[in-house]
A and B are shown apart, each in its own frame.
Chain A
Amino acid sequence: MATLNILIAVCLAYVALLFAVAFMAERAALKGRGNWLRSPWIYTLSLSIYCTAWTFYGAVGYAARSGLEFVTIYLGPTLVMVGWWWALRKMVRIGRTQRITSVADLISSRYGKSGLLAVCVTLLALVGITPYISLQLQSVTLSFSSFAVSDPVGASLIADQDTALWVAVGLALFTILFGTRNLDANERHHGVVMAIAVEAVVKLFALIAVGVFVVWGLAGGISPMLERIDASDIGQWQMDGGRWVGLTFLSAAAFLTLPRMFQVLVVENEDERHLRTAAWAFPTYLMLMSLFVVPIAVIGLELLPAGSNPDQFVLTVPLSQGQEGLAMLAFLGGFSSATSMVIVAAIALSTMVSNHIVMPIFLRLTQGGVNGPSDVRHVVILARRLSIGVVLALGYLYYKISGGGSALAAIGLVSFAGLAQLLPAMMGGIFWRGATRNGAFAGLVTGFAIWAWCLLLPGFGGGVLPASVMADGPWGIGWLRPHALFGIEGMDPLLHAGMWSLLLNAVVFVIVSLLSFPSPLERLQGAQFVNIFDHSDNPQSWSGGIAQSEDLMIMAQRILGPEMVQGFFQAEAARQGLAGYLPEPTPDFLARLERELSGAVGGATAHAMVAQIMGAATVSVEDLLAVADETAQMMEYSSQLEAKSNELTRTARQLRAANDKLTQLSVQKDAFLSQISHELRTPMTSIRAFSEILRDAEGLEPKDLTRYATIIHAEAIRLTRLLDDLLDLSVLENGQVNLNIRDGLLSDVISHAIAASGSDMHTMRVRRTGPAAEVMLTTDHDRLAQVFINLIANAQKYCDADRPELTIDVSRRGGRVIGTRRIALLPSKPRGIHPIPCGPTLMGLGCCEE
């Protein structure tokens, strides 16, 4: 009784310790002080959830039954880990860049985010893992009863209590507390991982402690131990080659596909470089875990009475020697193995169930009527907590229904074989771009069906298939017998089922993939997954860059010579803060290199050469799309800008032209109006004056009469012509007056002007001097006459001398006077009127000669 009480107390204390560790780790991570949480050692230790209670206790039993075959369960993961460069590196990179949350998420994301595939994988995982969880519950119960055997009171106590139920409830509590604190796949479960790492140390320490006790305490050293091993029942090498290879392969596959392994390998991975450490440290861990298995088994077989359960040797050997403390430690090791596996498996399964089954159904039921993200968050966390409860409840129910016992022990490998069905879809997905959703689905269904038919159903609870089906096949179809598909009999059932299911799974997967056609999203995701190292810009992806730099260097040396190029590259590397000769091929560096090269071979050639080498650098379709989007936006924007600016320029030009035209028009208008008003007024004045003379003057000479009438007539004609001009549109349009060019004498023009202005009468004396008065002019005589008329009229009007006299002095300066080209409002003084004291506005109209 005392032993059992102590055991329960130690057990509770240990659980409390785990809670405390998890809690502290969460706190430290929250406060950002959790650097040690992100060490590669924690990562490596967390991988140890591969070693469940089944391997902790079961490996010894396995070894006691069939020798070294147990080691295959560890050889597979070892091979996968030392081969991390192949698959794990890629998986971790994909998981990190694509924010993968579970193995179902990985497969569904790869195949175009297919919901159907995710559900399929989730169901497969549930079916495969639930028995495994119940196996852990069973192992804890068994180990309790192993203690109880030595304690009759305790035995009855244990029989009354349902240990498995309490364990399940406790585990559910722990997982819900520390496994559903946050949602983001990028935020790791620091508390859980830390607790698992502690448990990993405990179980390794426990097993080694028992092993050391057995080898040095009981056998008396290494050599006697080896002799005892050889002398035992399993002392000679005996191995079924098929099982050796098959189980190694199966465990390797399961290591990659088990949801809990995926959780710690990929989802909880903090840093890709942790894989480098885990690559050798985890195989070492596995090696140490299995190192003392055979010695414990051999000693157990020797010491314990025949018929005792070899699966409990780890506990019963120390107990039989009275080493209760050691047995307690071993018990804690087994307890750790069981709990850590259940916790992570529950987290992984609950993530899958809530993300791929509960949430889609919830979203469909609510028809998207969700009130904001906090609502969804709440629902997701609730779904995850419920899923954890459901997963553990399923495990417990399975344990109850199957009744425990040895039937469960076989479930470990059955589970491995079931989860291994994910391998073709998974590996095909990350290594083969041609893999399609239909292929993955068909392969999965095929493999799952064969596995269920050949392995799960025959083994389920002691076999749910009737004996007739097992013996003769369904409906008497012989080649469908669960243990002899296609009539091949006599194979190991596990090997038989594993081989056929995986083989047909892969074949169907490949064939359907080849025949079907992927959707665009699938193709996109496929390219992203398969070429993940070309796409993701992780700082560690230096391999391509350095290789390209080296190619560039070789090429440059051929052109520029080794010394110069080495100096240049070294300087560039130093500029980038790197030692050695090879800088990263940054755009900056490439531009400078191109400039150097173009000095020797010309710009275009240099560019082509660099592009030829750097051309291998690909960008992801997403990047391209983003760039294209950006470019399109920029192009659109710039074309809009350009159009706007063009429009502005055009408008400005038009405005300027319009302004010019307006100014011109205004000038013309002013000129025109002045001209017209002057030109119309003068003939009118003279007509009015002479007609008044004709009307009022008494006794005019007929000669004068005729002259005045002629003047009136001539002025009227001139007025008419002026009006004609005015009406002529071309005056406005061309800004110039049509000249009525005729040949004539200047003196005639002047005489006409004097006569028209009436100045020869009495008001002002007009003197005409100069010999050139008789000069012959080719011009518009009306206009010229107008000039003189204006001149004389203005002189008459504004001159206030007593005896006004106007001298018109015509002189020839040699130049040829050719009409007027422009008419402008220049207040210029015409020649020959200097003596007149007139204001500057005297001449409204000036003639500018060219």
Chain B
Amino acid sequence: MRERATPLFLERRSYRQRRLMDAARLLPLLGVLLWLIPLLWPQRDPAGEVAAVSTSSAILYIFGVWVLLALIALFVSLMLDSKAETADDGNV
């Protein structure tokens, strides 16, 4: 708040809630970005001059991103859930 004299009260949790909603909105964009990165990897080259990324590391990366996205989605939905359904841990 601009005015320092009056200590304006903003509830932290609802602020957090809205940031969580922002996170929920941004999550697919994060997924798109992370899954676009493999396109930058060196490809299999018939001439064999550049060492291509091995499929095993590609699998690890892609599935790692997958797990990461699922975990973030789990976190976000749990946090949003707890607000919407049980609002009784009121230590603001």
Residues of A with Cβ closer than 8 Å to B? 67-68, 71, 75, 78-86, 226-227, 229-230, 232, 234-239, 241, 244-245, 248, 273, 276-277, 279-281, 283-284, 286-287, 291, 294, 540, 542-543, 546-547, 550, 553-554, 557-558, 562, 565-566, 578-582
Assembled-state Cα–Cα distance A578/B11 (Å): 14
Report B-chain residues with C-beta under 8 Å of the C-beta of A85: 21, 24-25, 27
Report B-chain residues with C-beta under 8 Å of the C-beta of A287: 63, 66-67, 70
* A357 CB → nearest B CB, Å: 35
- Cβ of B8 within 8 Å of any chain A Cβ, yes or no, is yes
* A238 CB → nearest B CB, Å: 4
Contact with A along B51-92 (1 / 0, CB 8 A): 011111011001100110111111011101101110111101
Assembled-state Cα–Cα distance A750/B29 (Å): 124
Assembled-state Cα–Cα distance A162/B52 (Å): 47
Report B-chain residues with C-beta under 8 Å of the C-beta of A546: 14, 17
Report A-chain residues with C-beta under 8 Å of the C-beta of B69: 78, 82, 283
- Cβ of B19 within 8 Å of any chain A Cβ, yes or no, is no
Report B-chain residues with C-beta under 8 Å of the C-beta of A273: 81, 84-85
Choose one: A229, A291, A543, A580; the contact of B90 (CB below 8 Å). A580
- Cβ of B47 within 8 Å of any chain A Cβ, yes or no, is no
Known: A543-B18, A543-B21. A582 touches B84 (CB 8 A): no
Choose one: B31, B42, B92; the contact of A82 (CB below 8 Å). B31
Give 25 CB contacts A-B under 8 Å. A67-B55, A75-B35, A79-B35, A82-B28, A83-B27, A85-B27, A230-B55, A230-B56, A236-B55, A238-B52, A244-B38, A276-B78, A279-B73, A283-B66, A283-B69, A287-B66, A540-B84, A542-B84, A554-B10, A562-B7, A562-B9, A579-B87, A580-B11, A580-B87, A581-B92
Contact across chains for B14 and A550 when beta carbons are under 8 A apart: yes
Report B-chain residues with C-beta under 8 Å of the C-beta of A580: 11, 13, 87, 90, 92
Report B-chain residues with C-beta under 8 Å of the C-beta of A557: 6, 8-9
Contact across chains for B13 and A68 when beta carbons are under 8 A apart: no
From DSSP, what is the main secondary structure of chain B's interface residues? helix
Report A-chain residues with C-beta under 8 Å of the C-beta of B78: 276
Report A-chain residues with C-beta under 8 Å of the C-beta of B59: 68, 226, 229, 294
Report B-chain residues with C-beta under 8 Å of the C-beta of A237: 38, 41-44, 52-55, 58
Assembled-state Cα–Cα distance A281/B66 (Å): 11
Contact across chains for B63 and A554 when beta carbons are under 8 A apart: no
Contact across chains for A277 and B77 when beta carbons are under 8 A apart: yes
Known: A237-B41, A546-B17. A280 touches B63 (CB 8 A): no
Give B15's nearest chain A residue, CB to CB: A550
Report B-chain residues with C-beta under 8 Å of the C-beta of A547: 14, 18
Given A237-B52, A280-B70, 5 more pairs with CB closer than 8 A? A85-B27, A540-B84, A562-B8, A565-B9, A581-B9
The 7 closest A-B pairs by CB, nearest first: A83-B28, A579-B90, A280-B73, A276-B77, A280-B74, A85-B24, A226-B56
* B47 CB → nearest A CB, Å: 13
Assembled-state Cα–Cα distance A543/B25 (Å): 14
Give B85's nearest chain A residue, CB to CB: A273
Known: A238-B44, A279-B77, A287-B63. A83 touches B25 (CB 8 A): yes
Contact across chains for A578 and B24 when beta carbons are under 8 A apart: no
Assembled-state Cα–Cα distance A547/B71 (Å): 27
Give A545's nearest chain B residue, CB to CB: B14
* B20 CB → nearest A CB, Å: 10
From DSSP, what is the main secondary structure of chain A's interface residues? helix
Known: A239-B39, A557-B9. A234 touches B70 (CB 8 A): no
Give A541's nearest chain B residue, CB to CB: B84
Known: A235-B54, A287-B63, A294-B55. A566 touches B14 (CB 8 A): no
Assembled-state Cα–Cα distance A294/B29 (Å): 26
* A207 CB → nearest B CB, Å: 15
Give B28's nearest chain A residue, CB to CB: A83
Choose one: A79, A239, A286; the contact of B31 (CB below 8 Å). A79
Assembled-state Cα–Cα distance A236/B53 (Å): 6
Assembled-state Cα–Cα distance A542/B83 (Å): 10
Assembled-state Cα–Cα distance A84/B27 (Å): 9
Known: A68-B58, A235-B54, A562-B9. A241 touches B39 (CB 8 A): yes
Most chain B beta carbons < 10 A, residue from A82, A86, A226, A284: A82
Assembled-state Cα–Cα distance A550/B84 (Å): 16
Report A-chain residues with C-beta under 8 Å of the C-beta of B72: 82
* A591 CB → nearest B CB, Å: 22
Give B40's nearest chain A residue, CB to CB: A241
* B57 CB → nearest A CB, Å: 8
Known: A277-B77, A287-B66, A543-B18. A234 touches B55 (CB 8 A): yes
Choose one: A226, A283, A553, A554; the contact of B70 (CB below 8 Å). A283
Contact across chains for A230 and B14 when beta carbons are under 8 A apart: no
Most chain A beta carbons < 10 A, residue from B36, B66, B84: B66
Report A-chain residues with C-beta under 8 Å of the C-beta of B38: 237, 239, 244
Assembled-state Cα–Cα distance A79/B29 (Å): 8
Report B-chain residues with C-beta under 8 Å of the C-beta of A79: 28, 31-32, 35
Known: A280-B71, A543-B21, A581-B92. A236 touches B87 (CB 8 A): no
Assembled-state Cα–Cα distance A83/B33 (Å): 13
* B92 CB → nearest A CB, Å: 5
Choose one: A245, A283, A558; the contact of B73 (CB below 8 Å). A283
Report B-chain residues with C-beta under 8 Å of the C-beta of A236: 43-44, 52-55
Report A-chain residues with C-beta under 8 Å of the C-beta of B73: 81-82, 279-280, 283
Assembled-state Cα–Cα distance A286/B44 (Å): 27
* B5 CB → nearest A CB, Å: 11
Report A-chain residues with C-beta under 8 Å of the C-beta of B17: 543, 546
Give A83's nearest chain B residue, CB to CB: B28
Report B-chain residues with C-beta under 8 Å of the C-beta of A235: 54-56
Choose one: B8, B25, B54, B67; the contact of A86 (CB below 8 Å). B25
* B61 CB → nearest A CB, Å: 10
* B76 CB → nearest A CB, Å: 8
Assembled-state Cα–Cα distance A554/B67 (Å): 41
Assembled-state Cα–Cα distance A227/B90 (Å): 53
* A681 CB → nearest B CB, Å: 100
Report A-chain residues with C-beta under 8 Å of the C-beta of B63: 287, 291
Assembled-state Cα–Cα distance A562/B8 (Å): 7
Assembled-state Cα–Cα distance A557/B90 (Å): 21
Assembled-state Cα–Cα distance A287/B64 (Å): 10
Report B-chain residues with C-beta under 8 Å of the C-beta of A291: 63
Contact across chains for B88 and A579 when beta carbons are under 8 A apart: yes
Choose one: B6, B58, B66, B71; the contact of A562 (CB below 8 Å). B6
Assembled-state Cα–Cα distance A171/B61 (Å): 40
* A155 CB → nearest B CB, Å: 36
Most chain A beta carbons < 10 A, residue from B31, B62, B83: B31
Report B-chain residues with C-beta under 8 Å of the C-beta of A578: 87
Report A-chain residues with C-beta under 8 Å of the C-beta of B74: 280
Assembled-state Cα–Cα distance A542/B21 (Å): 12
Report B-chain residues with C-beta under 8 Å of the C-beta of A238: 43-44, 52
Known: A287-B63, A294-B59. A82 touches B81 (CB 8 A): no
Report B-chain residues with C-beta under 8 Å of the C-beta of A227: 56
* A705 CB → nearest B CB, Å: 120
Report A-chain residues with C-beta under 8 Å of the C-beta of B85: 273
Give A80's nearest chain B residue, CB to CB: B28
Report B-chain residues with C-beta under 8 Å of the C-beta of A226: 56, 59
Report A-chain residues with C-beta under 8 Å of the C-beta of B77: 276-277, 279-280
Assembled-state Cα–Cα distance A631/B84 (Å): 34
* A755 CB → nearest B CB, Å: 108
Assembled-state Cα–Cα distance A558/B6 (Å): 8
Report A-chain residues with C-beta under 8 Å of the C-beta of B87: 578-580
Report B-chain residues with C-beta under 8 Å of the C-beta of A284: 67, 70
Most chain A beta carbons < 10 A, residue from B53, B59, B78: B59
Assembled-state Cα–Cα distance A239/B62 (Å): 13
Report A-chain residues with C-beta under 8 Å of the C-beta of B6: 557-558, 562
Assembled-state Cα–Cα distance A234/B77 (Å): 37
Report B-chain residues with C-beta under 8 Å of the C-beta of A280: 70-71, 73-74, 77
